[in-house]
Chains A and B, each alone.
Chain A
């Protein structure tokens, strides 16, 4: 048996150590907790940040993060920024429409939580869907994220015109009852979504790693967020969703995410298997 090549081996270990130290430093100084994040994706993002901040090693980056006040806010963009499309996976929205909405109709008022909402693409998608189904008037949608810049973008409801063609196609494939253009005004290469949608949204800073439940929800939608978490943090987040959901409430995950490997798998039952829509079991 060949021993592992010492140089390669040591280099990997050093990078692991530097990554852990940097993440710890960020937590202790700025109270952003990336300690439970999946290592591989975090490493890719940190490697991209090394180039951006002109650092050779994560130790150098850590030095800048601790001593230069402007560096961390910029680094946070690298660590958290997520770009999703409106109505990404139209089948998910179609299933919400045909399977979940009929049950949501039975409630006099509705609360929906989009956990990890980034720039709000999913929040606006759900607002439009609920408006088309005649439910938006009685609904409040909470969009939460840890990235303040993304939350401000979500509050503005402004998106780049270049992205709208894809949004429109997805929307049409989601079983739309209207045209997406009914909901926005285009100007100067951007679109602004209607203020009447915005009235039913609350955007707020919330961390799935460190914060707790803040309201009782009928539907929690958390798509392609858990893929960035390690198992323990996934379990924590799913525990929050379970706690937040009302009796027999609904949980929607990303199309390649699964409850199967989680501690919370027993708390939920499959509702629409192929679109990863789950329902909280009775008595929990």
Chain B
């Protein structure tokens, strides 16, 4: 028993067990601190949607715990010339801080950040929020493609993209960019979407990792968080 003839792996071996204080366990999870693996897999969640997506957001954003590691950036198509109430609505319902994006906000602490009406929302080196008034894309400013493509560019495989209900194909190209960069792609199940055109356009471009009803998207993200990946 003392000598099996098998040498123990060297300490630096990637498969060697973590030191006890770094191991995931219920004791750490209890205090609200998630059972983190050494480094979470994702730094950002980007979410895009249009008609019919606000109900879906209502099933997703409140499911995210205050201890999330990642930042959440959201583009919803909204009227350009009116103030958006989204941040006010979700602030009441979410554990994470919620704001409408101001240029330059640092994304080093978890928060939920909505694109302001009539601006594109991007992520830039820092990482921080960048806005632009470049022309509308797919008749939309903010555009989902602009957010998703900038997130794919900045975060590479360390981003989760979620494409929700909507009536046009904004977001499909961005979803493909996230997919190509190695990020995790999640699409609202078309049958669960009041306007399935947007999820269908996304699914036509990529084989998404997950195709789920909104409540299941919330559960997936919460589960990734519990596993220390988010």
Contact = CB atoms under 8 A, between A and B. Distances in A.
Contacts of A1: 14, 37-39
B182 A8 contact: yes
Contacts of B119: 227, 256
B124 A39 contact: yes
A45 interface: yes
A45 B124 contact: no
A256 B156 contact: no
A256 B102 contact: yes
B104 A39 contact: no
A44 B150 contact: yes
B125 A256 contact: no
Contacts of A260: 102, 104
B157 A8 contact: yes
A12 interface: yes
Interface string A138-181: 00000000000000000000000000000000000000000000
Interface string B77-115: 000000000000000000000001111100000000000
Given A40-B150, A44-B150, A83-B135, A258 B130 contact: no
Contacts, number: 77
A200 interface: no
Given A9-B156, A84-B133, A228-B132, A40 B101 contact: no
Interface residues of A, number: 30
B116 interface: yes
Given A8-B182, A228-B132, A256-B102, A41 B156 contact: no
B162 interface: no
B181 interface: yes
A201 to B, nearest CB: 22
Interface string B162-205: 00000000000000000011100000000000000000000000
Contacts of A82: 133
Contact of B122 (A2, A8, A41, A226): A41
A39 B156 CA distance: 15
Contacts of A261: 104
Contacts of A41: 122, 124, 130, 132, 134
A153 B205 CA distance: 40
A132 B215 CA distance: 54
A253 to B, nearest CB: 9
B72 interface: no
B53 interface: no
Nearest to A5: B182
B133 A227 contact: yes
A4 B156 CA distance: 9
A228 B22 CA distance: 42
Nearest to B156: A8
B39 to A, nearest CB: 6
Interface string B8-36: 00000010000000000000000000000
A20 interface: no
Contacts of B61: none
Contacts of A204: none
A41 B133 CA distance: 10
Contacts of B125: 39-40
A256 B117 CA distance: 10
Contacts of B116: 255-256
B74 interface: no
Contact of A43 (B103, B153, B180, B182): B153
The 4 A-B pairs of least Cβ separation, nearest first, read A40-B124, A40-B122, A261-B104, A227-B103
Interface of B: 14, 37-39, 41, 100-104, 116, 119, 122-125, 130-135, 146, 149-150, 153-154, 156-157, 180-182
24 contacts: A4-B156, A5-B157, A5-B182, A8-B181, A8-B182, A40-B123, A40-B154, A41-B124, A41-B130, A44-B146, A45-B134, A83-B133, A226-B103, A227-B131, A227-B132, A227-B133, A234-B104, A254-B103, A256-B101, A256-B119, A257-B102, A258-B102, A260-B102, A260-B104
